[in-house]
Amino acid sequence: MTIVTISSRYQIVIPKDVREKLALRPGQKVQALPFKGRVELIPLDPIEAARGFVRGIDTTVPRDGDRL
């Protein structure tokens, strides 16, 4: 277990082993959420990372005649 200290400016340093395990990069955004008495940091990926994640999906959807 790694312990970090909150600075006087309410900042923390994410330990190197955690950064490497989660592949965090400088400048990357994370969402901070209070959850059951703790803080969870959720890494956010840029929207461009979602491009192609449904590759091969059938895009032929039957539509009503008035919905062209």
How many domains, the chain?
1
**pLDDT score at 68:** 62
- Does the residue 34 lie in any domain? yes
Question: Which residues, 6+ apart, have CB-to-CB distance to 39 below 8 Å?
Answer: 32, 33
What pLDDT was estimated at residue 64? 80
Tokens encoding 64: 């009503």
- Is 39 within a domain? yes
Instruction: Give the pLDDT score at 1.
Output: 78
What is the span of the domain harbouring residue 44? 27-55
> What is the C-alpha to C-alpha distance for residues 11 and 33, in angstroms, rounded to an integer?
15
pLDDT digits (tens, 9 = 90+) for 2-58: 899 999 999 999 999 999 998 899 999 999 999 999 999 998 877 777 777 778 888
